Amino acid sequence: MLQVNFRPFPRLETDRMILREMTKSDVPELFFLRSDATVLKYLGREPAKNLSEVEAFIDLIKGNIDNGEGIQWALTLKDQPEKLIGTICFWNMQKEHFRSEIGYALHPEHWSKGLMKEAILCVLDYGFATMKLHSVEARLAAANAASAAVLESTGFIKEGHFKQDFYFNGKFDDTLVYSKLTDKK
């Protein structure tokens, strides 16, 4: 079974970004990501209502990190390491199968710049090399072509298309499932 320990917190770097632990100072930017209609368009969740809700979410993240149940990084640009521009995480871990789901969100100002591809490749390297994951899964709304494209550009393969399996805001939507396997056998 997969054994993980996220303490001390693994600070990661890419060419343009620092992936660091989230703090309470990130609440305003995280509130934007969790409440903006453009960001939430394909995520199938209600928008955050207030800053307290986001503070509670950060506490939940910290608990998951401390318990080895999941990890979430704040994405920041190297020239502004204090300002969160996005998030990326491993969650919904299936430790008995050495598998985790990846999730991410990015401020629209930073879309189409290759930043999420950079972040995904960085955390995949951490997930496969350090965590010893065998596979990583991504689930997304079938209409989210941009997310499908970034996953494919990082080596994910589409494994499934579930018809009308997700109900949100009075309608059923399709879900795509992508995955990537470690290069090591």
Model confidence pLDDT, tens digit, residues 88-146? 999 999 999 999 999 999 999 999 999 999 999 999 999 999 999 999 999 999 999 99
pLDDT in tens, 29-65: 999 999 999 999 999 999 999 999 999 999 999 999 9
Residue 177 lies in a domain: no
Burial degree of 156 (CB within 10 A; 0-12, 13-18, 19+): buried
**pLDDT the model gives residue 185:** 59
CATH of the domain at 81: 3.40.630.30
User: pLDDT grade, residue 183 (50/70/90)?
Assistant: confident
> What residue numbers bound the domain in which 97 lies?
12-133
Alpha-carbon distance values, 24 to 31, 34, 48, 54 (Å): 11, 15, 16, 9
Residue 129 lies in a domain: yes
Residue 31 lies in a domain: yes
Residue 173 lies in a domain: no
- pLDDT of 184 above 80: no
> How far is 163 from 138, CA to CA, in rounded Å?
16
Residue 151 lies in a domain: no
Residue 149 lies in a domain: no
Residue 112 lies in a domain: yes
What sign results for the dihedral spanned by CA atoms 164, 45, 10, 56? Answer: negative
**pLDDT the model gives residue 95:** 97
Name the DSSP letter for residue 169.
T
Question: How many structural domains comprise the chain?
Answer: 1
